[in-house]
Structure 1
Amino acid sequence: MPIIAIIIFLGVIILFSSFFTVKQQTAVVVERFGKFLSIRNSGLQLKIPIIDRIAGRVNLRIQQLDVIIETQTKDNVFIKMKVSVQFKVIQEHVYEAFYKLEYPHDQITAYVFDVVRAEVPKLILDDVFVRKDDIAIAVKRELNEAMTTYGYDIINTLVTDIDPDIQVKNAMNRINAAEREKTAAMFESDAQRIRIVAKAKAEAESKKLQGQGIADQRREIAKGLVESVDVLNKVGINSQEASALIVITQHYDTLQAIGADTNSNLILLPNSPQAASDMLNNMVTSFTASSIMGEQMKNQPKRVKKTGNHSSLDYNPSDTSNPEEPAK
């Protein structure tokens, strides 16, 4: 009985060891007595126990390998580049991938190093950033030519990072900042020039209008002075006395206007010893002229205006006729 149980037990183990499963996107290499027998794909598979064995499993999914390379550019700048290689095993070439190449990652890394260190030293640092896609294409082309023989397909290669030396990076940042500051200064200068031109045009227009206003004001003042002198001449005041009277009147009008301003702290003082006597003489002259003008106006004949049952007196300095005489 024990022997039969042992035989049954061994038979069950051998039966179960005859079956094995293969996962999706995976290939299994089966050998018989150490020699390649077949490649099994996904699903439930059968092999002869003890005679056949599973030599290995090959992943058919897309894989990614990140390679970091330190190299030098044409302008003697050391940079670190990160190249990501996406690859997979060709399903029809599982035999080559399993038996011809033992360490595929090391092989891919070696080819990436070789291509990058051949392409980057031809370029200056700025061109490395601009032409990184060209470098990736060159890496992919070289890898495809080399790895297809071993049953590998290179799906894509990407230059995912370019890291210059820290000092070079700081210098590049300063250059970029200087360029942006230069552009900003140019825009600010243009804006300042536009504001200055606009302000100058406005000031020119203002000065023009101000000049026209001053000219009109002086013209009206001149007309008023002429009329004032004519009126004073008609009452017997000569031109010199009339001019002195007008000047004194304007002088005191100016003083009155200054004194009327409550916020003014202006104090007027004579600037020469004879200023006081000159002011007194001018005042006496103006008062004398005013008295003469008043006497002349009193001595002018009166004209009676009759309006209905009322009458009024009207002075006419230019009329020398007697109002009591009848009109001829």
Structure 2
Amino acid sequence: MEIALILLVLAVVFIMRTFKIVPQQHAWVVERLGRFDRTLTPGLKLVVPFVDRVAYKHSLKEVPLDVPSQVCITRDNTQLQVDGIIYFQVTDPMRASYGSSNYVVAITQLAQTTLRSVIGKMELDRTFEERDAINSAVVSALDEAAANWGVKVLRYEIKDLTPPAEILRAMQAQITAEREKRALIAASEGRKQEQINIATGEREASIARSEGERQAEINQAQGQAAAIIAVSEASAQAIRQIAEALQAPGGAQAVQLQVAEKAVAAFSQLAQKNNAMIVPANLSEVSGLIGSAMTLLQTPRGGSAATGDRP
């Protein structure tokens, strides 16, 4: 009974040491009698008990690795506190097992030294502007060295760049001054544009007023010309009508009567509008005008003056 139990235990141990189940995205390195033999891929695998040994187990997933914060000195002798993160992946399990005693520590140390070297070639202002260039330089250097360790460095990212407090205050003052400068420039540009707009508006308004005045003068001149033409045409028409009336029978007597009436009316108006009585120098002229007017009134229309005896 005891022998059967021992044999059962030995069988279980033998089975456990013979059959290996490798998880997905993992690789196990097998040594046979202390020497590298093969790499086990995911799935159920067989090994020789007590002869083969799984020496290393590697994950083939992408691994993020924090790089400890460190002080870097820029080209203009300014200290920067820098920390970052590396993303890498094991691509060759055999090299990762035997290329370095600890590839994680090796990558971390190399990342720190490379970062100090890259930042030391830049001035302070450029370190904030060219993070992508810094990341690319670090990745290039790490990837070249990590190829012997069976590791592929995928990318490096700077998490934080922290200058000393004095530098931060100076940078803040510089930024404030720059913003105030831009604000003043923007305000002056606005005032300049405002003056330009006002001048342009005044010029256009002046041009519009002058055009309006010119057009008004043209219209007024045209109106006066039209009025003069109309008056002249009316005068000419009146003169033609008077001429025609003079040619008609009794026309001359009618004109003489009208002239006499206007003369009498003018003398009467002069006498009424002044304090002193205005007397014509030759009274016979007035009586002559009146007599002519009476003679015209007694003259029949269309005929000559009456020749009969007065009553």
TM-score range normalised by the length of the shorter chain: 0.5 to 0.7
- Residue in 1 aligned with 2:230? none
Shift of 1:201: 8.8
Shift of 1:172: 1.2
- Residue in 2 aligned with 1:58? 58
- Residue in 2 aligned with 1:44? 44
Q: Which amino acid aligns with 1:178?
A: A
| Residue ranges of structure 1 left out of the alignment (5+ in a row) | 210-304, 306-313
Q: Scaled by the length of structure 2, what TM-score is found? A: 0.61
Q: CA–CA distance in 2 between the matches of 1:29 and 1:101?
A: 15
* Alpha-carbon distance change, 175 to 24 in structure 1, aligned in 2, over 3 angstroms: same
Residues 6-54 of structure 1, C-alpha deviation per residue, up to 9 Å, x if partnerless?
Answer: 3224323322332121111110112233332321010011122333322
- Residue in 1 aligned with 2:145? 146
Out of 256, 259, 273, the position equivalent to 1:316 is 273
Q: CA–CA distance in 1 between the matches of 2:86 and 2:276?
A: 122
Q: CA–CA distance in 2 between the matches of 1:178 and 1:202?
A: 36
| Structure 2 residue 7 is matched with structure 1 residue 7 | yes
Q: Which amino acid aligns with 1:86?
A: Y
* Alpha-carbon distance change, 156 to 316 in structure 1, aligned in 2, over 3 angstroms: same
- Residue in 1 aligned with 2:75? 74
Residues 136-169 of structure 1, C-alpha deviation per residue, up to 9 Å, x if partnerless?
Answer: 2222222122111121122223334322223212
1:67-146 maps to which residues of 2 (within 5 A)?
A: 67=67, 68-90=69-91, 93-146=92-145
Q: Name the SS of the counterpart of 1:108 in structure 2.
A: helix
* Alpha-carbon distance change, 194 to 88 in structure 1, aligned in 2, over 3 angstroms: closer
1:219-230 maps to which residues of 2 (within 5 A)?
A: none
- Residue in 2 aligned with 1:30? 30
Q: Name the SS of the counterpart of 1:50 in structure 2.
A: coil
Shift of 1:179: 1.0
Q: CA–CA distance in 1 between the matches of 2:140 and 2:109?
A: 14
| Residue ranges of structure 2 left out of the alignment (5+ in a row) | 210-264, 266-270, 280-285, 291-311
* Alpha-carbon distance change, 18 to 166 in structure 1, aligned in 2, over 3 angstroms: same
Shift of 1:200: 8.1
- Residue in 2 aligned with 1:272? none
1:204-283 maps to which residues of 2 (within 5 A)?
A: none
1:136-215 maps to which residues of 2 (within 5 A)?
A: 136-195=135-194
What is the root-mean-square deviation in Å for CA atoms of aligned residues? 3.5
Q: CA–CA distance in 2 between the matches of 1:197 and 1:100?
A: 74
Q: Name the SS of the counterpart of 1:122 in structure 2.
A: coil
* Alpha-carbon distance change, 192 to 48 in structure 1, aligned in 2, over 3 angstroms: same
Q: Scaled by the length of structure 1, what TM-score is found? A: 0.58
Shift of 1:65: 2.0
The runs of at least 4 consecutive aligned structure 1 residues that moved more than 4 Å come to 193-206, 317-320, 325-328
Count of aligned residue pairs for this structure pair: 224
Q: Name the SS of the counterpart of 2:100 in structure 1.
A: coil
Q: CA–CA distance in 1 between the matches of 2:127 and 2:25?
A: 38
* Alpha-carbon distance change, 110 to 321 in structure 1, aligned in 2, over 3 angstroms: same
Q: CA–CA distance in 2 between the matches of 1:57 and 1:34?
A: 16
Q: Name the SS of the counterpart of 2:120 in structure 1.
A: helix
* Alpha-carbon distance change, 4 to 200 in structure 1, aligned in 2, over 3 angstroms: closer
Q: CA–CA distance in 2 between the matches of 1:24 and 1:169?
A: 49
Q: Name the SS of the counterpart of 2:70 in structure 1.
A: strand
- Residue in 2 aligned with 1:249? none
